[in-house]
Structure 1
């Protein structure tokens, strides 16, 4: 799982990425998390499974979702209190919840209506 955390300049997203990466490692999950900016999104998008958007960029969610949709990348806006999540566990829970609502691309089970 490749997590991209974006903010305006890359500073706050770096802290969030480090914390969520540590939380995933402590839980034995093979997740990577990197920081990016809205300016680097077009470049970083290819290497992401999910984008976590800084709360101060919530107004840009629709634009980010349009860019991400072409590559089937999930998008979630981080809560306003994300920076108080010192362990990264709540942020990791957000990643899981966001991805739980999406179909598993590796699933071979088909359903017919």
Structure 2
């Protein structure tokens, strides 16, 4: 499964992507997790799930439409700081979002 974590500028998404990768490795879940800004969405191409930072909630409808054109589903991450975000929780959100789309 291919996951993209997006935020406004790409900095906090990198931190979250690392946590998701770690959680997936510990659980033996095969995922490819990348990070970037919302402006770069189309540049990432083939995606299954886009995890969106809560601070971009106002842009979710637009991001959902752009992601849908790429064949991806969108989920909004919990409204906590990237340092406090649990990697397992974010991974579960991505897995559940993908399962619901199938």
**Aligned residue in 2 for 1:32:** 32
* Largest Rg, 1 or 2: 1
The offset of 1:100, in angstroms, is: 2.1
Q: Which consecutive residues of structure 1, in runs of 5 or more, have no partner in the other structure? A: 104-113
Cα distance between partner residues in 2 of 1:6 and 1:85: 14
Q: Equivalent residue for 2:4?
A: 4
**CA-CA distance at 1:39 after TM superposition:** 1.7
**Aligned CA-pair RMSD:** 1.3
TM-score (norm: length of structure 1): 0.83
Distance 1:100 1:82, change over 3 A: farther
Deviation per CA, 1:42-78: give whole Å up to 9, x if none.
Answer: 211x132110001100110011111111222010011
Pairing 1:21–2:21 present: yes
Task: After superposition, give the CA deviation of every residue in 1:65-97 in whole Å (9 maximum; x if it has no partner).
Answer: 1111122201001110262134x1011111122
TM-score for both structures, normalised by structure 2: 0.91
Is the contact between residue 4 and residue 47 of structure 2 (CA under 8 Å) also seen in structure 1? yes
Deviates more, 1:61-70 or 1:77-86: 77-86
What residue in structure 1 maps to residue 80 of structure 2? 81
Question: Which structure 2 residue ranges, 5 or more long, are not aligned?
Answer: none
Is contact 1:82-1:91 (8 Å) kept?
no
